[in-house]
Amino acid sequence: MKADRHADIVVVGAGIAGLTAALEAAPRRVLLLASSPLTEGASSAWAQGGIAAAIAADDSVALHLADTRAAGAGLVDDEAAQAVLARAPAAIAALVARGVAFDKEEDGSLALGREAAHGRRRIAHVSGDATGLAVMRALADAVVRAPHVEQLQASARSLLVESGRVVGVVAEQDGRSVTIAAGGVLLATGGVGQLYDRTTNPLDARGDGLALAARAGAELVDLEFVQFHPTAIDVEANPRPLATEALRGEGATLIDRDGHRFMPAIDPAAELAPRDVVARAIFHQQASGQGAFLDAREAVGARFPSRFPTVFGLCAAHGIDPRTMPIPVAPAAHYHMGGIAADARGRTSLPGLWAAGEVASTGMHGANRLASNSLLEALVAGGVAAADLRERNQPAPAALPDAPLPLDPPRDAARIEALRVLMGNLVGVVRDKAGLTAARKSFATLLDAPGELGRRATVSFLIATAALAREESRGGHFRRDHPAPNEAARTRRRWTLTAAHDFAREREAA
């Protein structure tokens, strides 16, 4: 069929990974697709903590790698992590050159914050807790001025594959299909948080990139590893606002409804224990009716509005004054360590398809992400993938293979919400065989549902299947029926949609 548009490179997603890739792909012609206007709809714009980089005099890439490996619970791919961490100082310098005004010490050096599980102060931040937005604005300004980038506010609906190679994208714009022929396609669609009923992620984090890649036959990996942020503010809102970990770094404590700290009895690092440990502790507090609150009255107190302006604003919007009252908190889906299997250049198992940022999984984060390593990865991986696409310089095909061009039907809000609740209850912080089996069966019945419902069911099915297959607990994946890590299971597991169906059939036959 005839393509509506042609581009050397199509970048799907305009978070930090997509924007960086679009900029770095010059002079190739880039068509940048995003579901929402620039700087909206992306987790990148909401990042509060900052960007990790071994810059301080007492720090090194080796120390940063050691912390990354410790968080990753035995599954970090050293090469992938080392490649990103080594580029961190240069990535920060490139942002400074683009005008990002990182916070500075009085002597003019970068002010570096400390976060849980980082052995050194290495978090570069802007205006305290507004890092993501500042970086996004700088990158978006550059994209708007870049003559080689054309933007299209549209949602990718499927990938076009010819003889095993990705040759284009079908997108939906204002209720119309748009077919795009491309020399190469980079997926940078972010995470999966919105598959869950409680999440910190923006509405666009529906896992679209994973659904598109899986349906096109690509390999996905480590899908069961979802990080739940322990301290999302527990208010009726989607997404849930986040109370950054830096608050605990400043000394804020976790207390129950009687004012007792519960973390010291659970982990020697107390409130600064790994995220999964804190998330499970809060989960159990809530399940037992004791509640969980983040108490920053003493540690931050009157400094709250100036030190954490974003969190202060989020609290205020829900009638909470964190200077005088503890903040109610609950775990919420926050970051996906799994994703489309990608190598060090962002290449996937399908020729013509690249992936970068949260939608990809290179193994850098292993089974659990170290805080503030993900903006870094999105920055570095977006640039590296763009360089590979640029050098490869494959022309867009003149014509596209014939394919259906279905438009999304009206959104089935009730059934989508039901899927989200199932994910939260059965594929959430604490999992077990019975729940995962039930969830997977429900998702399986909706794999072919049209539109958003089918895409969500596809990714939910894959995550539940991967979680069922991993009969151990590791990093972000906790099975109450297999509560310990199992050395024999310490491998990264790749999945295709076909492999997930086969696994399910084998399980049913057994």
Ligand X SMILES: Cc1cc2nc3c(=O)[nH]c(=O)nc-3n(C[C@H](O)[C@H](O)[C@H](O)COP(=O)(O)OP(=O)(O)OC[C@H]3O[C@@H](n4cnc5c(N)ncnc54)[C@H](O)[C@@H]3O)c2cc1C
46 is a contact residue toward ligand X (CB under 6 A): yes
Nearer to ligand X, 205 or 384 (CB): 205
Taking the C-alpha atoms of residue 5 and residue 76, their distance in angstroms, rounded to an integer, is 40
User: Looking only at residues 126 through 185 of this chain, which bind ligand X when binding is defined by CB under 6 A?
Assistant: 132, 155-156
Nearer to ligand X, 187 or 467 (CB): 187
12 is a contact residue toward ligand X (CB under 6 A): yes
Cis peptide upstream of residue 409 (ω within 30 degrees of 0): no
Taking the C-alpha atoms of residue 216 and residue 134, their distance in angstroms, rounded to an integer, is 35
Choosing from 7, 9, 13, 349, the residue that interacts with ligand X (CB under 6 A) is: 13
- Binding span for ligand X by CB under 6 A among 8-16, 255-263, 296-304, 411-419: 8-16
In the complex, the smallest distance separating the C-beta of residue 381 from ligand X, rounded to whole angstroms, is 8
**Is residue 338 a contact partner of residue 463, using CB atoms and an 8 Å limit?**
yes
In the complex, the smallest distance separating the C-beta of residue 320 from ligand X, rounded to whole angstroms, is 17
Nearest to 369 by CA among 209, 222, 226, 187: 226
458 is a contact residue toward ligand X (CB under 6 A): no
Nearer to ligand X, 365 or 479 (CB): 365
42 is a contact residue toward ligand X (CB under 6 A): yes
In the complex, the smallest distance separating the C-beta of residue 244 from ligand X, rounded to whole angstroms, is 7
In the complex, the smallest distance separating the C-beta of residue 438 from ligand X, rounded to whole angstroms, is 28
Choosing from 24, 59, 197, 208, the residue that interacts with ligand X (CB under 6 A) is: 208
Tokens of 496: 């295709």
In the set 275, 280, 347, 431, the catalytic residue is: 275
Choosing from 228, 308, 335, 461, the residue that interacts with ligand X (CB under 6 A) is: 335
Give residue number: closest CB to ligand X: 15
Taking the C-alpha atoms of residue 391 and residue 180, their distance in angstroms, rounded to an integer, is 21
Tokens of 134: 């500042």
Q: What are the start-end ranges of the E strands in 138-212? A: 149-153, 155-162, 165-173, 176-187
Taking the C-alpha atoms of residue 463 and residue 470, their distance in angstroms, rounded to an integer, is 11
Choosing from 10, 30, 33, 426, the residue that interacts with ligand X (CB under 6 A) is: 33
Question: Residue 58 burial by CB count (10 A; 0-12/13-18/19+): exposed, middle or buried?
Answer: exposed
123-124 and 112-113 as β-strands: parallel, antiparallel, unpaired? Answer: antiparallel
Nearest to 196 by CA among 501, 465, 489, 418: 418
Cis peptide upstream of residue 239 (ω within 30 degrees of 0): yes
Q: Does residue 275 carry a catalytic annotation?
A: yes
Give the DSSP H/E element, type plus range, for residue 327.
Answer: strand 327-336
Q: At what angle do helices 373-392 and 88-97 cross, to 10 degrees?
A: 80
- Binding span for ligand X by CB under 6 A among 2-10, 174-182, 200-208, 314-322: 200-208
Give the DSSP H/E element, type plus range, for residue 380.
Answer: helix 373-392
Nearer to ligand X, 455 or 474 (CB): 455
Choosing from 22, 24, 30, 50, the residue that interacts with ligand X (CB under 6 A) is: 50
34 is a contact residue toward ligand X (CB under 6 A): yes
41 is a contact residue toward ligand X (CB under 6 A): yes
In the complex, the smallest distance separating the C-beta of residue 488 from ligand X, rounded to whole angstroms, is 31
- Binding span for ligand X by CB under 6 A among 84-92, 202-210, 293-301, 411-419: 202-210
User: Looking only at residues 360 through 419 of this chain, which bind ligand X when binding is defined by CB under 6 A?
Assistant: 372-375, 378
Nearer to ligand X, 157 or 477 (CB): 157
Q: Which residues contact 293 (CB under 8 A, 6 or more apart)?
A: 254, 255, 256, 257, 326, 327, 328, 329
**Is residue 5 a contact partner of residue 181, using CB atoms and an 8 Å limit?**
yes
Site string for ligand X, 235-254 (x = CB under 6 A): -------x------------
Residues lying near ligand X in the complex (CB under 6 A) are found at 12-18, 33-36, 41-44, 46-50, 132, 155-156, 188-190, 200-201, 204-205, 208, 242, 335, 357-359, 372-375, 378
Which residues are tagged catalytic? 275
